[in-house]
């Protein structure tokens, strides 16, 4: 690591904080003295509060394991019943019909900005792996964009962002993650604070000169406490950098049970900075398994049987739209990762039609926009939202006064018509093995079964695998999910995956290790909270090409 002393720290009394960070080619440009000083201040001011927050997360999780069900907080009834609104969205976030999520490499960033979407979300979280080179190269790419230096040569031709490019948003990592490559007094900084702090300290002034500002997507909220901590971080950062209050704007992913019961509280805590809530369905279902891992009555069926029209998922979506519009916030629908087959469109036509159906439903339900992982499906989503919105930038006026959602609506999953089948069990094994096998090589966005998948899918798949094995459920075939059955299916699915990928692609991943880890986690007495945390020490550094990704 490179050792250095932060200069220019403005705490009282002023101190020079010792820091250490791993070397990288982009480190001198990204981690300047001013930036490292800002990061050190963030760490000292907010790390104690983060640790208190994480302790609260742990305590809440323990309470759920003893049978305590989540509910709307009675102490905030008055807040939920009173009339208030968040600050209006800035000009370049008023229209968010289509949002494209993607990698943070220079080429991915440029192509995302020029994709035709209204928003491009550069993702340091579920679509990326926490490899130092990926993180710093991504920050350098964002820095180049705001400084009007972003250009990429493709097939000998230099490309730059178009004049009407998408609005850039940055998704940080969650509060539960550390950044081990940057330490203050030998303590790793919060990954959230690192991703946010580097971006803000480097680009605040440049973004304003460019006629925009800094916009962030914030993930993995468990409730209002997450929002309150972020509100403190945002307010302090604006004061520290001399920015007007409300300059930095954020959107929040609602992807846990706790956050679903605290949408009003999250919006209120961030009312001067927030613009939207996003429905993160895969992570939401993963949260279901984690929250109720010991409750046999809350077993999820085959994932194929769970969709936006499943009653408890539809209740979640409708509550999000209703809550957002009542408070003046945008509601952003769930993500689609379908990869259309450009050579044989008929092969993926059913999946493409499902994208159209889903986006038509979202627009009809009142969502103001939606998210996609593939630029090829942007026109489909744009068409469905154009059909409903017409000339309007959004549909905040659609208040959905017909929506009344109770705790029971959000938690009653037995209304699902799905079953637990061997096919579903095989899919969970295969999908998780496929994704984690590439994740261990430093790849965070993986094409699987004509979908571009991120860590959320793998987390859900391996959690459901654990749930079915832990509770020894009986499949529709009459067979019980035992260790012997799981062993056999792992052998068969490993062989099947190897055959379908081919030896060349198989050699690019670490699928045997992924299978070994998955099999071990499945037999644990408790569900592993996050595989991304458990396997980070095993991550390989990707190739020197910062756009390292798997061909679709």
pLDDT exceeds cutoff 60 at 13: no
**Of residues 183, 202, 201, 237, the one with CA closest to residue 4:** 183
113 has pLDDT over 90:
yes
Residue 3 has pLDDT above 50, yes or no: no
Position of tokens 């300047």?
A: 32
Q: Where are the alpha helices (DSSP H) in 66-187?
A: 77-81, 106-113, 132-146
Average pLDDT over residues 376-405: 96
Which residue in the block uniquely carries the two structure tokens 């103001």?
368
Q: Please report the pLDDT score of residue 542 as a whole number.
A: 60
In the numeric block, the tokens 């990326």 are attached to: 128
535 contacts: CB under 8 Å, gap ≥ 6: 436, 439, 440, 517
Active site residue 454: yes
Phi-psi region of 244 (alpha: psi -120 to 50; beta: other; left: phi over 0): beta
Say if residue 17's pLDDT is above 70.
Answer: no
Rounded Cα distance, 65 and 320, in Å: 26
Look at residue 550 and tell me whether its pLDDT is greater than 90.
Answer: no
pLDDT at position 545, please?
Answer: 42
pLDDT bracket for residue 82 (50, 70, 90): very high
pLDDT at 360: 97
Contacts of 359 (CB under 8 A, 6+ apart): 333, 336, 370, 380, 381, 384, 385
Range in 56-60, 175-179, 297-301, 383-387 the model is least confident about: 297-301
Which class for 177: exposed (0-12), middle (13-18), buried (19 or more C-beta within 10 A)? buried
Task: Please give the pLDDT value at position 267.
Answer: 98
- Whether 549 has a pLDDT exceeding 60, the answer reads no
Confidence (pLDDT) at 18:
84
Choice among 33-47, 99-113, 226-240, 408-422 with the minimum mean pLDDT = 408-422
Ranking 11-20, 32-41, 470-479 by mean pLDDT, the lowest is 11-20
Q: Pick the residue with more confidence: 12 or 527?
A: 527
pLDDT tier, 68 (very low <50, low <70, confident <90, very high otherwise): confident
Judged against a pLDDT cut of 70, whether residue 405 lies above it is answered with yes
Of these residues, 123, 178, 195, 454, which one is catalytic? 454
Is this structure's pTM higher than 0.75? Answer: yes
Which run of H or E residues covers position 528?
Answer: none
Question: What pLDDT, on a 0 to 100 scale, did the predictor assign at position 11?
Answer: 45
Residue 173, beta-bridge partner list: none
- Cα 259 from chain centroid (whole Å): 14
Residue whose pair of structure tokens reads 């590439």 in the numeric block = 438
Domains and CATH numbers, the chain: 33-281+330-336+368-373 (3.20.20.360), 419-538 (1.20.1220.12)
Q: Which residue reads 């990928």 in tokens?
A: 501
Band (pLDDT 50/70/90 cuts) for residue 9 is very low
Question: What is the rounded distance in angstroms from the CA atom of residue 476 to the CA atom of residue 465?
Answer: 16
Beta strand 187-190 with 178-184 is: antiparallel
- Asked if the model's pLDDT at residue 7 lies above 60, the reply is no
User: 422: pLDDT confidence band, cut at 50, 70 and 90?
Assistant: very high
C-alpha to C-alpha distances, 195 to 119, 171, 223, nearest whole angstrom: 19, 8, 21
**Length of the chain measured in residues:** 552
Token representation of residue 166 = 């998408």
The pLDDT assigned to 416 comes to 60
Mean pLDDT (whole number) for 439-468: 96
Average pLDDT, integer, range 398-426: 89
Residue 448 in 3-state DSSP? strand
**383 a catalytic residue:** no
Mean pLDDT of the chain: 93
* Res 171: pLDDT: 98
- pLDDT 10s digits, 259-280: 999 999 999 999 999 999 999 9
Tens-digit pLDDT profile for residues 481-531: 999 999 999 999 999 999 999 999 999 999 999 999 999 999 999 999 999
Provide the pLDDT confidence category of residue 546 given band limits of 50, 70 and 90.
very low
Kind plus residue range of the DSSP H or E element containing 507 = helix 503-508
pLDDT at residue number 415: 61
User: CA–CA separation, 31 vs 184, rounded Å?
Assistant: 14
Q: Are 274 and 251 in contact (CB under 8 A)?
A: yes
- pLDDT (mean) for 395-412: 95
Q: Give the mean model confidence (pLDDT) for residues 329-351.
A: 95
96, 171, 173, 249: the active-site residue: 171
How many percent of the chain have pLDDT more than 70? Answer: 94
């Amino acid at each position: 690591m490179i050792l250095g002393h932060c200069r220019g720290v403005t705490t009282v009394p002023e101190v020079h904080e010792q820091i250490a960070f791993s070397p990288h080619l982009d480190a001198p440009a990204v981690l300047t003295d001013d930036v490292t000083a800002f990061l050190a201040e963030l760490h000292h001011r907010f790390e104690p509060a983060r640790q208190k927050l994480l302790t609260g997360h742990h305590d809440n999780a323990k309470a759920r394991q003893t049978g305590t069900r989540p509910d709307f907080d009675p102490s905030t009834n008055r807040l939920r019943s009173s009339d208030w609104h968040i600050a209006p969205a800035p000009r370049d976030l008023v229209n968010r019909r289509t949002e494209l999520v993607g990698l943070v490499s220079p080429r991915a960033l440029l192509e995302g900005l020029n994709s035709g979407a209204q928003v491009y979300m550069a993702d340091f979280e579920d679509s990326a792996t926490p490899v130092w080179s990926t993180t710093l190269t991504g920050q350098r790419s964002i820095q180049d964009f705001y400084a009007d230096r972003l250009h990429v040569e493709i097939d000998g031709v230099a490309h730059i962002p178009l004049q009407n490019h998408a609005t850039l948003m940055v998704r940080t990592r969650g509060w539960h993650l550390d950044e081990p490559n940057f330490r203050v007094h030998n303590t790793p900084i919060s990954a959230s604070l690192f991703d946010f702090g580097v971006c803000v300290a480097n680009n605040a002034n440049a973004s304003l000169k460019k006629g925009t500002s800094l916009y962030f997507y914030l993930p993995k909220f468990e409730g209002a406490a997450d929002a309150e901590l972020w509100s403190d971080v945002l307010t302090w950062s604006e004061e520290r950098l001399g920015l007007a209050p409300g300059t930095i704007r954020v959107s929040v992913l609602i992807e846990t049970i706790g956050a679903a019961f605290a949408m009003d509280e999250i919006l209120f805590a961030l009312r001067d900075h927030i613009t939207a809530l996003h429905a993160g369905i895969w992570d939401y279902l993963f949260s279901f398994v984690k929250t109720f891992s010991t409750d046999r009555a809350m077993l999820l069926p085959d994932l194929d049987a769970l969709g936006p029209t499943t009653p408890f998922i539809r209740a979640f979506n409708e509550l999000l739209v209703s809550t957002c519009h009542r408070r003046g916030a945008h509601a952003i629908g769930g993500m689609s990762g379908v990869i259309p087959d450009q050579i044989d469109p008929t092969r993926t036509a059913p999946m493409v039609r499902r994208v159209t159906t889903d986006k038509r439903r979202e627009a009809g339900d009142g969502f103001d926009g939606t998210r996609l992982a593939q630029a090829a499906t942007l026109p489909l989503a744009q068409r469905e939202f154009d059909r409903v919105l017409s000339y309007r930038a959004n549909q905040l006026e659609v208040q959905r006064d017909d929506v009344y959602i109770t705790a029971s609506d959000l938690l009653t999953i037995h209304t699902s018509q799905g079953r637990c089948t061997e096919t579903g069990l095989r899919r969970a094994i295969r999908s998780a093995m496929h994704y984690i096998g590439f994740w261990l090589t430093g790849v965070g966005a993986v094409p699987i079964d004509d979908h571009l998948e991120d860590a959320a899918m793998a987390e859900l798949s391996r959690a459901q695998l654990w749930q079915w094995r832990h509770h020894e459920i009986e499949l529709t075939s009459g067979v019980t999910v035992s260790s012997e059955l799981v062993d056999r299916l792992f052998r068969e699915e490993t062989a099947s995956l190897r055959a379908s990928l081919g030896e060349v692609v198989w050699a690019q991943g670490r699928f045997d290790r992924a299978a070994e880890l998955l099999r071990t986690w499945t037999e644990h007495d408790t569900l592993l909270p996050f595989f991304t945390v458990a396997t980070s020490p095993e991550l390989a550094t990707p190739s020197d090409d910062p756009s390292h990704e798997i061909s679709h």
